[in-house]
Amino acid sequence: MVYNYTEEAVRRILPDIIRDYLKTHPHICTCDLCKDDIMALALNQLPPHYVVSDRGTIFTQVSFDQIGGKAQVVAAITRAIEQVSNKPRHQ
């Protein structure tokens, strides 16, 4: 199977980043639609990094070194949260 390592990394740390962001911005929406939008926007800002795994499961621990460092991923997610919370696609 082919996996996008970047996607796995974003999926793993997204809840932590949202939790941190909520500390300073308690009123942002964190419904499933907004979380999906945040994930898609963040992934569009980051280069994909495809890996092949013959097992059904991958990565017990995500290594951010492989995808340009954690800071880049956190920055992309934070930008995505700002964009989505400024303009959610629902009322």
Q: Fill in the amino acid letter for 15.
A: P
Give the nearest distance from C-beta 8 to Zn ion in angstroms. 24
Contacts of 65 by beta carbon, 8 Å cutoff, 6+ apart? none
**35-50 burial, b if ≥16 CB within 10 A, otherwise e?**
bebbbebbbeebeeee
Tell which positions 38-67 bind Zn ion, by CB under 5 A. Answer: none
Instruction: Closer to Zn ion by CB, 55 or 90: give it.
Output: 90
- Contact between 34 and Zn ion by CB under 5 A: the answer reads yes
Instruction: Closer to Zn ion by CB, 29 or 51: give it.
Output: 29
Residues binding Zn ion (CB under 5 A): 29, 31, 34, 88
